[in-house]
């Protein structure tokens, strides 16, 4: 019998298209396990995980949430992730900390485009994934026909563990499907050589052999057990829990003496006005009052240390310190952000597209401008990929994934901060790179605007692609007090957020070539005031070119849509790559197109695709460098 502090833990993510029933399934799992006393309702706005006012009003999950329950000797932490593509940054951080996933789809609506995108990502990561077909008791629900559709449009590598009777009626019920069923053995044999040999040459695989092969192939992400059920009615949910504990491998325990290593995957406002950080630990141990140093990689490529001291620690579902494999809510870390790493910086997280849209936000009432900027900066701390920065005209620039996210930010500003904000139409975010080398300097006293006791000389040079921005110096080490040197470096990075064409400058090397100060008179403020002027002049002398972001795309379409879809993409300026017949994930009739398209054209392609393919087309895209703007 495992004690409360030592029982094994599984961290499971629930992923699905919008409205497939993720939050309802979470409520059912918690209720059936006795973790909550009654079922919450999305329509009633009283669910456990969607605890934000806006989440309850809109009926969608915006931030990742964690809830725990116990199944036998195993604790299961449920991470209820957003389903809307505008909140893909939250999904990205959640996937990193999972031991396994449940991909949810509706027995009525079937396979949706976002479902296919999520499955593609899960299979690429080889994350152990179970498929749960929800809403079997709804009118219009399908079972066998839906299995055919899943094999054709989602993945052929599924193994149904349950069947349905009276599907599409309130009397719908599930029953176990024997492992020895011929279809089950054939499905396992497709991905397991040992079972294949037994099926072909005999003797037939035993139930024990099939069970072991099913667990092994589920663990390596090559096979996906499938179960039917209803989150609202509770049918099939016990079988889902049993499959999770039996088929998803548990994390290996590690020694507590090693340094702690983990990931902050969510940051939420705390009731006392502070913030709560959710940390998944992979190694070591974290205790209350412990001092920690997190690592953060900025957009400019720099690594920043974020120190803090844990003043509150609540391990999800258990007592005691935070140990490997578990998740805890930490307080007392005011500067920590989602995505910060404890112990080391790794690239274990799946790579989703960074935000490519930018909007300018202003307060409708001018007296709220300062509060608006502070609120947006606070919100961007929760999701650093959608960060905010001051704009030249007094507004605030905000990076976004899509228009729904913009609506949620506007509602959050109104409800949580009392600020009525207006947003300019979103635009694609371009970049600038130096076209050559430029140098400029100013000596004290600088009298252009006010007396300034500082000397700054900077040289700007092009850097390698994807190198970010690098600051270095040719001046003698120690020629400036450290505070003055830091003021120059910080101001250089901040100033590069808006180059001569008002777009961020990247892939450049900025060198401090001249410096000076007047002992009792110079201040760090002098260097912060002078550096942007010198840097702008050096950039103008170097010249910059503007680059627009491109996305690499992969597109699956039915054969009948080839001509209209290629015509559309050609009109949008797409660069075509290899085109394959029968190239869909199911291997059926159709075409798979690849290529590259300007990010500003991606949204139009996505909007027009369903009409040209009768809803059958599936689009994936990801950042693929950029091109000089003609």
Looking at 542, 572, 597, which one is the last position of a domain? 542
Determine which helix (DSSP H) or strand (DSSP E) holds 621, and give its type and residue range: strand 618-628
43 shares a domain with 60: yes
Judge if 466 and 396 occupy the same domain: no
The confidence score (pLDDT) of residue 63 equals 43
Inside any domain, residue 210: no
CA–chain centroid gap for 275, Å, is 20
Which domain-ending residue is among 523, 542, 561? 542
Task: Identify whether 421 is part of a domain.
Answer: yes
The 8-class DSSP code of residue 315 comes to: E
Residues of the chain with pLDDT under 70: 1-6, 40-65, 80-93, 253-256, 270-273, 298-302, 345-354, 381-386, 392, 402, 404, 445-450, 582-589, 623, 630
> Which of 319, 352, 337 is CA-nearest to residue 75?
319
Assign residue 476 the CATH number of its domain. 3.30.230.10
Q: Which residues, at least 6 apart from 582, have a Cβ–Cβ distance to it below 8 Å?
A: 588, 589, 590, 591
Q: Are residues 150 and 240 in the same domain?
A: yes
Residue 56, pLDDT score: 42
3-state SS record for 261-286: EEEEEEEEECCCCCEEEEEEEEECEE
CATH number of domain containing 316? 2.40.30.10
314, 342, 370 - which closes a domain: 342
Residue 287: inside a domain, yes or no? yes
**pLDDT score, position 55:** 38
Of 468, 359, 378, 397, nearest to 86 by C-alpha is 359
Do 504 and 301 touch, CB atoms closer than 8 A? no
Contacts of 567 (CB under 8 A, 6+ apart): none
- Counting Cα atoms < 13 Å in the Cβ hemisphere of 329 gives 18
The 3-state DSSP class for residue 313 equals strand
Position 436 scores a pLDDT of 96
478 and 564 in a common domain:
no
* 96 and 114 both lie in a single domain: yes
Q: Which residues contact 200 (CB under 8 A, 6 or more apart)?
A: 189
pLDDT in tens, 389-416: 777 677 888 887 767 678 778 888 888 7
For residue 218, the model assigns a pLDDT of 95
Q: CATH no. for residue 590?
A: 3.30.70.240
Domain containing 470 equals 432-542
Name the CA dihedral angle for 180, 186, 187, 192, rounded to a multiple of 10 degrees: 100
Can you read off the two tokens belonging to residue 404? Answer: 């729904």
Assigned domain for 278 exists: yes
- Predicted pLDDT of residue 170: 94
Give the tens place of pLDDT for each residue, 346-403.
654 444 455 778 888 988 888 888 888 888 877 776 665 567 777 767 788 888 776 7
The distance in angstroms from the start CA to the end CA of the chain is 69
Q: Are residues 174 and 281 in the same domain?
A: no
Q: Are residues 284 and 423 in the same domain?
A: no
In a domain, 254, yes or no: no
Helices (runs of H) and strands (runs of E) counted in the chain: 15, 32
Q: With respect to residue 217, please indicate whether it lies within any of the assigned structural domains.
A: no
- One domain for residues 296 and 419: no
| Same-domain status, 558 and 509 | no
Same domain, 227 and 87: yes
The pLDDT score that the predictor gives to residue 471 is 93
Q: Which pLDDT score, from 0 to 100, does residue 298 have?
A: 67
Number of domains into which the chain is organized: 5
- Shared domain for 581 and 605, answered yes or no, is yes
Q: Is residue 338 part of a domain?
A: yes
pLDDT value at position 589?
65
Partnered with residue 460 across adjacent β-strands are 438, 510
> Which contiguous run of DSSP H or E holds residue 76?
strand 74-80
Task: Specify the pTM.
Answer: 0.72
Least Cα distance to 110 among 125, 131, 91 occurs for 131
Q: Are residues 23 and 134 located together in one domain of the fold?
A: yes
Residue 364's CATH number: 3.30.70.870
| Residue 188 counted as domain residue | no
């Amino acid at each position: 019998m495992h004690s409360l502090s030592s029982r094994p833990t599984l961290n499971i993510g629930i992923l699905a298209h919008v409205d497939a029933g993720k939050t309802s399934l979470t409520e059912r799992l918690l209720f059936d396990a006795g973790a909550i006393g009654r079922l919450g309702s999305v329509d009633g706005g009283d669910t456990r995980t969607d605890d934000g006012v806006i989440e309850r009003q809109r009926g969608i999950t915006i931030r990742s949430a964690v809830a725990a329950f116990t199944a036998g000797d195993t604790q299961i932490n449920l991470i209820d992730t957003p389903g809307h593509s505008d909140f893909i940054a939250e999904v990205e951080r959640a996937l990193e900390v999972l031991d396994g996933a449940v991909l949810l789809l509706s027995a009525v609506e079937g396979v949706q485009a976002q479902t296919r995108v999520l499955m593609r990502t899960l299979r690429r990561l080889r994350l152990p994934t179970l498929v749960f077909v929800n809403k079997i008791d709804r009118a219009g629900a399908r079972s066998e026909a839906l299995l055919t559709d899943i094999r054709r449009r989602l993945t052929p590598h599924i193994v149904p563990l349950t069947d349905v009777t009276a599907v599409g009626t309130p009397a719908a019920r599930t029953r176990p499907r024997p492992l020895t069923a011929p279809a089950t053995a054939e499905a396992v044999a497709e991905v397991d050589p040992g079972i294949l040999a037994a099926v072909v040459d005999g003797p037939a695989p035993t139930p024990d052999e099939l069970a072991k092969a099913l667990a092994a192939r589920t663990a390596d992400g090559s096979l996906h057990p499938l179960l039917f059920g209803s989150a609202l009615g509770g049918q099939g949910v016990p079988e889902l829990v049993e499959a999770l504990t039996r088929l998803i491998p548990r994390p290996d325990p590690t020694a507590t003496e090693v340094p702690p290593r983990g990931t902050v995957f969510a940051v939420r406002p705390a009731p006392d006005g502070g913030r709560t950080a959710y940390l998944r630990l992979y190694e070591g141990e974290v205790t209350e009052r412990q001092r920690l140093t997190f690592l953060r990689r900025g957009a400019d490529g720099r690594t920043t240390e974020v120190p803090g001291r844990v003043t509150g620690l609540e391990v999800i579902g258990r007592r005691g310190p935070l140990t490997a494999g578990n998740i805890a809510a930490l307080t007392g870390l005011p500067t920590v952000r989602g995505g910060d790493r404890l112990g080391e910086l790794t690239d274990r997280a799946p790579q989703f597209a960074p935000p490519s849209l930018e909007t300018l936000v202003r307060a409708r009432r001018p007296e709220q401008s300062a509060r608006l900027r502070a609120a947006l900066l606070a919100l961007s701390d929760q999701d650093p990929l959608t960060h905010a920065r001051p704009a030249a005209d007094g507004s605030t620039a905000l990076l976004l994934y899509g228009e729904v996210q913009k609506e949620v930010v506007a509602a959050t500003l109104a409800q949580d901060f009392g600020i009525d904000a207006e947003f300019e139409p979103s635009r694609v975010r371009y970049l600038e790179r130096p076209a050559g080398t430029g140098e400029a300097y100013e000596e004290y006293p600088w009298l252009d605007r006010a007396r300034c006791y500082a000397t700054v000389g900077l040289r700007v040079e092009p850097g390698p692609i994807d190198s970010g921005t690098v600051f270095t110096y040719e001046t003698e080490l120690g020629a400036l007090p450290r505070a003055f040197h830091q003021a120059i470096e910080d101001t250089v990075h901040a100033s590069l957020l808006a180059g001569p064409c008002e777009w961020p400058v990247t892939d450049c090397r900025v060198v401090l070539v001249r410096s000076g100060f007047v002992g009792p008179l110079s201040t760090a403020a002098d260097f912060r005031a002078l550096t942007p002027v010198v840097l702008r002049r050096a950039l103008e002398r170097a010249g910059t070119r503007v680059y627009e972001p491109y996305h690499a795309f992969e597109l699956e379409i039915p054969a009948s849509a080839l001509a209209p879809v290629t015509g559309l993409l050609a009109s949008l300026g797409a660069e075509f790559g290899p085109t394959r017949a029968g190239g869909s994930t199911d291997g059926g009739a159709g075409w798979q197109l690849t290529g590259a398209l300007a990010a500003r054209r991606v949204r139009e392609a996505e909007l027009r695709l369903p009409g040209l393919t009768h809803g059958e087309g599936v689009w994936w895209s990801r950042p693929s460098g950029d091109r000089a703007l003609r």
